[in-house]
Amino acid sequence: MATATDVKKRMVRINGCVASAQAAKYADVDVIAAYPIRPYTATMMALAQMVANGELDAEYIVADSEHSQLSISHGASSSGARVFTGSSGVGVQFAYELYSPISGSRMPVQMMIADRTLDPPGDFGSEHTDALSTRDMGWIMGWSCDAQEAFDNHLIAYRIGEDPRVLLPQMVCQDGFFVSHITGDVELPDTGQVKEFLPPYKHPYPLDPRHPVSHGPQIMPEQGPPLQLERARAMEESMPVIEQVHEEFAKIFGRKYDPWVEEFMTDGADVVFFLQGAHAVTAKFAIQHMRDRGMKVGMVRLRTIRPYPTDRVREVLSKFKVVGVIETNMGLGSPSSGGVLYSEVCAALYESQHKPLVFSFMAGMGGEAIVLKEFYWMTEKMLEVQKRGKIEKRTHWVGFEH
Amino acid sequence: MPTIEVQRQLLPILTSPNQGARFFNPELPSSEPFVPGHRTCAGCGPSIQYRMTSKAAGDNTILVGPTGCMYVANSSYLCTPYNVPWAHTQIGSAGSFTAGVAAAYEAMIRKGKWKGKFPNIICEAGDGSASDIGLASISGALYRNHDCLIICYDNEQYANTGIQASSRTPYGGMTTFSPPGPEVPEGKKLFPKDLARMMAAGHPHCYVATASVGYPIDLMNKVRKGLNNKGASYLMVYTPCQKGFVYETPRSIDLGRLVVECGLYPMWEWNPEKRSYDYSFRPQTMRPVSEYLKLQGRFGHLHAEHIAKLQKFANEQWRMMGVELPEALIQAADAKNLVNMAAAAEAQAVAETL
């Protein structure tokens, strides 16, 4: 383990995109597949410069589409190379075909996503629908809320995904602009720390002429169920590894993250926000203000949505009287007629003896900031629901109601 | 860290005469990266091509198989015909997955993570993948010049899905998506996309060639030239499909000759150094297209005017290669000198076998 004297850490002020690029550099990736789309592009711009400067030895491929980006990543990962790719918005969806083949062939490709609203009508702003629409494709997935966490999550995700007990691809998501383009202080580690934490990628059965293997042959219907069961198990069995890797990360880098949820001012709280990603930063300020005024409000931020920590979410949320889910995604025609997080929360709480009242807020849509005033409004809605003892409706569109 | 130089292999060119497909040839490599036991149809042109191609490449090879016949019929879970590493990829990922494999080996060898000579990386894409859904991905791989060989095994249709028209299906070719009927007597109305020329014109730094299973030595040499070329190469191979073309099973190789002899499949090489086409390949004889068409049920519905159109198309191909046309072929491009393939009832009977 690196000792205190030979650790050369340094603080830099960078945005989320550059933090992701730095993480890829520290991970010494072999193949990078790029294709431009805002806002994640800045990550690939930074990596291109690192390769041009000779700071990073990698094959930097400018692909002809996102579909090709993911296919290149699939091929390179299948051959034994550590791969980095990324996208935003409709780009994430253009590559959709590849998500299941990559996770099904157990290739630990890493994809950075800086969220962007889907078309129509051509909105650059952050909305989580792009990545969330792929949530059931067998990728490990979670959101960061600032540049430092984005940097850390990339290294953590490589370590989890490449673990021979796991071998799964990872989507390391951050909000477009709120994280990707806002600078923050990021501690870049010593390369020795990264070496200690992240061993070289070694796939057990790569495409190597000296040990021929066939990847992805055609199967008969009766061969399908056992293979699908294996995939389901892979997701489930990654959970203890995820916990273990977070602990090791804390030991080596000194930053401790709960792998599943972050709780903020939940002690004594009656009502809580449940959300993912960057709006948690504003939520924390709002909650502090409201606590000062005596409102018993807190926040629970989901850090990993796939695999979904059902039991953990149930344990955490059962303590409260009201849960207000901040969606920041579109689930058109979903059970709540709002987003998709509501159903995930309700599913976790269904088996609970103490069910809080759950409803959702459509806030931060189209990449709009959720301002303090809106957090106060949402808190009042939650407190009203607590007082009334039942919800008014499942989904509130913030900014469209009084 | 100093980078390690990537070592590449060089395969010898075979010297046997071109026209000796059916006899033992001591010059042929003994390695069999693609072995029998798969589920392709009897007489399958693409699988004959697959065997020759992989034989020419040898054992230090990685094969990429986008969705198509050579994926579905070859690889059956728990058994595999591949003695070298093989991976399936999506039908639209032919060029991009292959590029990923090539890039991985460049980086891994350079960074000392894999030791050995750079492998032959071969993608076997069907014409549906190469000319339609995977066109952009192949163009990307050629443009970026990854060290790989992309082969289009051209059976002129989507065969694995049950014989549908691709943009390589010839004019008049009957498929389930281009059936003949009273309103559309010729079946397919469009002429095929000139895919190989498109690849040569758009990526002039690449070695590009056309070949046919009818000429195995020529095919294997083109494979080796493509692999020896440092950078991307593209090879388009005529591979008849017994099921879709509807012919007598033992005639696959004959069709591979006839299609060249009648001018419907021009054989050429694009030389990336000279930046020019090499049209020196000459079949032993030249024939009218009707001699090729009459062996195949998929053309059984054609009228004299349609055959004349195809002859005109073939004549243009000959001219493009700088071949002087004999009078007989010029005459054969006139519908007056031709007869219909079959009566409507007979043509219908063939259609029903599809």
Q: What is the pLDDT of residues A320-350, one digit of tens each?
A: 999 999 999 999 999 999 999 999 999 999 9
Q: What is the pLDDT of residues A18-54, one digit of tens each?
A: 999 999 999 999 999 999 999 999 999 999 999 999 9
Domain-located, residue B339? no
Across the interface, whether the CB atoms of A30 and B104 are under 8 A apart is answered yes
Please check whether residue A133 is in contact with residue A73, taking contact to mean a CB–CB distance below 8 angstroms.
Answer: no
Q: What is the pLDDT of residues B258-282, one digit of tens each?
A: 999 999 999 999 999 999 999 999 8
Domain match, A290 and A393 both: yes
* Final residue before a domain boundary, out of A236, A253, A270: A253
Minimal-distance CA residue of chain A relative to B59 = A209
- Is the pLDDT reported for residue B55 higher than 90? yes
- Is the pLDDT reported for residue B337 higher than 80? yes
Which residue's structure tokens are 């991985």? B104
Look over chain B and give the mean of its residue pLDDT values, rounded to a whole number. 92
Domain match, A27 and A105 both: yes
User: What gap in Å lies between CA A359 and CA A390, rounded to an integer?
Assistant: 10
Q: What is the pLDDT of residues A109-130, one digit of tens each?
A: 999 999 999 999 889 999 999 9
Nearest to B41 by CA among B252, B221, B229: B252
- Is the pLDDT reported for residue A303 higher than 80? yes
Quick one: pLDDT at residue B30?
84
Across the interface, whether the CB atoms of A212 and B119 are under 8 A apart is answered no
Nearest to A110 by CA among A216, A17, A24: A24
- Is the pLDDT reported for residue A263 higher than 50? yes
**CATH code for the domain of A117:** 3.40.50.970
- Across the range B240-261, mean pLDDT stands at 95
| Phi and psi at residue A265, to the nearest 5° | 50, 45
Contacts of B111 in chain A (CB under 8 A): 30, 57
Nearest to B119 by CA among B150, B85, B93: B85
Number of domains in chain B: 1
Quick one: pLDDT at residue A3?
43
Residues whose CB is less than 8 angstroms from the CB of residue A195 and which lie 6 or more positions away in sequence, other chains included: none
Sheet holding A31-34, edge to edge: A59-62, A31-34, A83-87, A110-114, A170-174, A140-144, A304-306
Number of domains in chain A: 2
Domain match, A14 and A91 both: yes
- Across the range A388-399, mean pLDDT stands at 96
How many helices (H) and strands (E) chain B has is answered by: 13, 8
Of A76, A98, A200, the CB nearest to B103: A76
Q: Fill in the amino acid letter for A232.
A: A
Domain-located, residue A1? no
The shortest C-alpha distance from A55 to chain B (Å) reads: 11
Give the containing element (helix H, strand E) for B276.
strand B276-278
Domain-located, residue B246? yes
- Is the pLDDT reported for residue B12 higher than 70? yes
Handedness of CA B312, B200, B164, B242 (dihedral sign): positive
List B residues 32-71 in contact with A (Cβ-Cβ < 8 A). 59-62, 64, 71
- Across the range B286-311, mean pLDDT stands at 95
How many helices (H) and strands (E) chain A has is answered by: 13, 16
The shortest C-alpha distance from B73 to chain A (Å) reads: 8
Domain-located, residue B304? no
Contacts of B96 in chain A (CB under 8 A): 63-64, 67-69, 71-72, 75
Domain match, A25 and A165 both: yes
Quick one: pLDDT at residue B60?
95
Minimal-distance CA residue of chain A relative to B1 = A57
**CATH code for the domain of B168:** 3.40.50.970
Across the interface, whether the CB atoms of A216 and B89 are under 8 A apart is answered yes
Nearest to B169 by CA among B184, B161, B180, B159: B159
Q: Lowest-pLDDT range, A255-259, B29-33, B124-128, B168-172?
A: B29-33
Quick one: pLDDT at residue A9?
86
In A119-223, which residue ranges form alpha helices assigned H by DSSP?
129-132, 147-162, 191-197
Quick one: pLDDT at residue B174?
96
Domain-located, residue B206? yes
Angle in degrees, CA B146, B109, A75, rounded to 5: 50
Domain-located, residue B324? no
Domain match, A292 and A354 both: yes
- Is the pLDDT reported for residue B209 higher than 80? yes
Domain-located, residue A216? yes
Quick one: pLDDT at residue A4?
45
In B192-303, which residue ranges form alpha helices assigned H by DSSP?
195-202, 216-228, 242-245, 252-261, 289-293
Look over chain A and give the mean of its residue pLDDT values, rounded to a whole number. 96
Nearest to B235 by CA among B101, B115, B73, B94: B94
Range of the domain at A153: 10-253
CA distances from B242 to A186, B187, B247, B270, B298 (A): 63, 19, 6, 30, 10
Domain-located, residue A5? no
More confident residue, B89 or B3: B89
Query: Does the beta carbon of B86 lie under 8 angstroms from any beta carbon of chain A?
Result: yes
Quick one: pLDDT at residue B219?
95
Q: What is the pLDDT of residues A206-221, one digit of tens each?
A: 999 999 999 999 999 9
Nearest to A320 by CA among A270, A386, A355: A270
Of A71, A74, A80, the CB nearest to B108: A80
- Across the range B11-38, mean pLDDT stands at 78
**CATH code for the domain of A369:** 3.40.50.920
Domain-located, residue B24? no
Domain match, A204 and A221 both: yes
Kindly report whether the peptide bond that precedes residue A39 is cis, defined as omega within 30 degrees of 0: yes
CA distances from A3 to A63, A189, A220, A247, A248 (A): 41, 13, 55, 18, 15
Of A74, A81, A211, the CB nearest to B108: A81
Q: What is the pLDDT of residues A269-289, one digit of tens each?
A: 999 999 999 999 999 999 999
Helices B135-144 & B94-110 angle (0-180, nearest 10): 30
Write down the pTM of the prediction: 0.95
> In sequence order, what DSSP letters do the residues of A59-73 get, joined into one string?
EEEE-SSHHHHHHHH
Quick one: pLDDT at residue B284?
87
* Final residue before a domain boundary, out of A253, A285, A304: A253
Quick one: pLDDT at residue A378?
98
Query: Does the beta carbon of B145 lie under 8 angstroms from any beta carbon of chain A?
Result: no
Quick one: pLDDT at residue B19?
55
- Is the pLDDT reported for residue A1 higher than 60? no
Query: Does the beta carbon of B78 lie under 8 angstroms from any beta carbon of chain A?
Result: yes
Across the interface, whether the CB atoms of A78 and B59 are under 8 A apart is answered no
Q: Lowest-pLDDT range, A183-197, B309-323, B325-339?
A: B325-339
Residue B184: band (very low, low, confident or very high) from pLDDT cuts 50, 70, 90:
very high
Structural tokens at position B133: 């859904």
* Final residue before a domain boundary, out of A202, A235, A253: A253
CA distances from A178 to A116, A129, A372 (A): 11, 16, 15
- Is the pLDDT reported for residue B354 higher than 70? no
Across the interface, whether the CB atoms of B137 and A68 are under 8 A apart is answered yes
Of A67, A78, A217, the CB nearest to B77: A217
Name the burial class of residue A132, with classes exposed (0-12), middle (13-18) and buried (19+) by CB atoms within 10 angstroms of its CB: buried
Range of the domain at B224: 45-286
Distance, C-alpha A102 to centroid of its chain: 18
Residue B338: band (very low, low, confident or very high) from pLDDT cuts 50, 70, 90:
confident
Structural tokens at position A280: 């948690």
> 3-state DSSP call for residue B294?
coil
Domain match, A386 and A276 both: yes
Across the interface, whether the CB atoms of B99 and A61 are under 8 A apart is answered yes
Domain-located, residue B22? no
Contacts of B118 in chain A (CB under 8 A): none
- Across the range A352-371, mean pLDDT stands at 96
- Is the pLDDT reported for residue A2 higher than 50? no
